[in-house]
């Protein structure tokens, strides 16, 4: 089973029904719900997604949405080692992207799913959009 690390933007596309990206995010998460693929996110993504949801709804609803999300994804730890690697790496202009990438590497993910391909160029781990992955 393919292990896909999902960037924050894909999670927010799904949970915020963000068009025109919602449908492909929903298809991706549906595959995980059917146990065809395994989806993982970093613990940082939970915090970032909560922040976004709280701008759209109340705290109880946001927590309920995140509880349901946890049923179909793995949440990977963001630890001192990953933060250290990201701080000492000059490949990423966006520190958060480095944290995501090294979380995926540390947890043996097969590829990263994001809408920001330009932020993940020339790295060991393959990076695709949700649409590109679904076409495979």
The predicted pLDDT at position 65 comes to 95
For residues 67 and 43, the answer to whether their CB atoms sit within 8 Å is no
**Per-residue pLDDT at 62:** 95
Residue 124 CA: distances (Å) to CA of 50, 104, 112: 30, 11, 11
> What is the predicted pLDDT for the residue at 12?
96
| Separation of CA 57 from chain center | 21
Question: For 12-51, b where at least 16 C-beta lie within 10 A, e where not — what string?
Answer: bbbbbeeeebeebbeebbebbeeeebbbbbbebbbebbee
Summarize pLDDT for 13-70 with one digit per residue, the tens.
999 999 999 999 999 999 999 999 999 999 999 999 999 999 999 999 999 999 999 9
> Model's pTM, two decimal places?
0.92
pLDDT digit string (tens) for 76-95?
999 999 999 999 988 888 89
Question: How far apart are alpha carbons 122 and 27 in whole angstroms?
Answer: 27
């Amino acid at each position: 089973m393919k292990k896909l690390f999902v960037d924050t933007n894909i999670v927010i596309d799904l949970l915020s029904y963000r068009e025109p990206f919602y449908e492909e995010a929903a298809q991706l998460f549906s595959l995980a719900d059917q146990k065809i693929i395994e989806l993982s996110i970093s613990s940082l993504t939970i915090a970032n997604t909560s922040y976004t949801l709280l701008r759209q709804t109340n705290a109880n609803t946001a927590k309920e949405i995140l509880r349901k999300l946890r049923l179909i994804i793995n949440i990977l730890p963001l630890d001192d080692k990953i933060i250290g690697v990201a701080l000492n790496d000059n490949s990423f202009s966006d520190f958060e992207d480095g944290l995501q990438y090294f979380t995926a590497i540390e947890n043996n993910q097969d590829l990263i799913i994001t809408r920001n391909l330009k932020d993940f160029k020339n790295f060991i781990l393959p990076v695709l959009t949700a649409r590109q992955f679904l076409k495979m």
